[in-house]
Structure 1
Amino acid sequence: MAARDGLGCSTPGCTSPHYTLQAHHVIPDRDDGPTALDNGILLCYWHHRIVDTGPWQYRMIAGMPHVRGPGVVDWTPTRRPVAHAA
């Protein structure tokens, strides 16, 4: 997930450090969502905790995570550039 999306929370504007990240099932396990890379995104502890009650929504479109919520009305890709060592 980090290689695909970068080392940051998938929620726009979140600046939580990488060590707070947790894997989240986009289609929940309770709804028979697979435990697979194409059903997972990285969320910080806080956004993962409120994923079912908070204002942000996440879904996968063509294998890429997308998000929408306050100020982001259209489904928007969450991909962040991954820094590479020089």
Structure 2
Amino acid sequence: VVVVQPPSGNGPNNLVFVAGISSQVYNPPPAHHVLLPYHPQGHPRTGLTKRCVAKCDWVFTIEQQHIVAVKGVVPSACMKVILEQLTLLGHSP
């Protein structure tokens, strides 16, 4: 998942707004499926090894305690597009 909005507090049950990531990529992907940087040996920022999208129509909240590891970071240019698409779909965090 892509963490779109981190929790505002420090408690263990703080909710985190996330968008799903999928390696099932349509050609061309719809605007609300944002392509993420990848490299076969692992992208230096995202850590992704294959073509993936952040699905801005696949959003939900999870408790912060359920995030077990950070595998990478979405570059700010991609995050900007993700946030724009979420807003267009009415899913503003």
TM-score, structure 1 normalization: 0.24
Structure of larger gyration radius: 2
Q: TM-score, normalised by structure 2?
A: 0.23
